[in-house]
Amino acid sequence: MTVLAADLSPGYFITGTDTEVGKTFATCALLRRLAVAGRRVAAMKPVAAGLDEHGRNEDVEALLAAANVRCARERVNPYAFASPIAPHLAAREEGREIRFAPILRAFAALAGEADGVLVEGVGGFRVPLGSDGDAADLAVALGLPVILVVGLRLGCINHALLTVEAVRARGLRLAGWIGNCATADMARREENVATLRELIAAPLLGVLPHLTPADPAAAAAFLDLPS
């Protein structure tokens, strides 16, 4: 495996081709990989929708467990909503509004505690958030290079290329992409990955296998670090 130098300052924005493509799993694997490389890295999920009976979000808990810098939950996840629905709808349901200022303050605090911060978006790249903008606008406000998680399943090439266009249209740098085997039996997976490598002008950081149960520490071995 080729180990590339990773300049984490201040971090990366992790987005996906859609919801349920393994964005949290890939982010956790990258957190573990960076830790092995000696980086002190924090995680952030600015907006999460869907809480359990204890008021916790599964993705946020996974990020907290994978990061090697322990940070306050309210900084890691400034906005948490009970219903597992689109975040702008979940916020409206609770009479709240998602604003960027608290997220940017939380990010600045996290960045001061670590070598860098991996910020996991919500859903895909253009998910509405509120009056300040959508997830793409948040990535711009944070000023972070983007890592794209591609869920390897039927339709992924179209979704990936559209997302790449949207990232670049915002003037953001695509630092790389990660393929995640969202299903165990995708037809022509290797050919799909080869096509994506040809068409995406950014490095492939790795292809994560379909693991049952999901194990970010094991998946980390399949990743290179962004340069």
pLDDT digit string, tens, across residues 47-88: 999 999 999 999 999 999 999 999 999 999 999 999 999 999
Give the type of residue at 30: L
**Among residues of the chain, what percentage have pLDDT more than 70?**
96
Average pLDDT over residues 79-101: 97
The whole-number pLDDT of residue 135 equals 97
Residue 92 pLDDT level (bands cut at 50, 70, 90): very high
Q: Output the average pLDDT for the chain.
A: 93
The whole-number pLDDT of residue 108 equals 96
The whole-number pLDDT of residue 184 equals 80
Q: What is the pTM of this model?
A: 0.94
The whole-number pLDDT of residue 2 equals 38
The whole-number pLDDT of residue 7 equals 62
The yes-or-no verdict on residue 4 having pLDDT over 80 is: no
Is position 45 annotated as part of the catalytic site?
Answer: yes
Highest CATH level, class, for 11-222: alpha beta
For residues 131, 135, 136, 142, the Cα torsion angle rounded to the nearest 10 degrees is 90
DSSP 150: E
The whole-number pLDDT of residue 144 equals 96
Output the CA–CA distances (angstroms, integers) from residue 17 to 32, 61, 78, 183, in the order listed: 22, 22, 23, 15
pLDDT digits (tens, 9 = 90+) for 126-182: 999 999 999 999 999 999 999 999 999 889 999 999 999 999 999 999 999 999 998
The whole-number pLDDT of residue 85 equals 96
Handedness of CA 181, 39, 65, 72 (dihedral sign): negative
Average pLDDT over residues 196-221: 93
Q: How far apart are CA 193 and CA 160, in angstroms?
A: 11
Please pick, among 39, 45, 75, 159, the residue that the annotation labels catalytic.
45
Residues 6+ apart with CB under 8 A from 112: none
Residue ranges covered by each domain of the chain: 11-222
Higher pLDDT among residues 185 and 119, named by residue: 119
pLDDT digits (tens, 9 = 90+) for 49-60: 999 999 999 999
Q: How far apart are CA 224 and CA 214, in angstroms?
A: 19
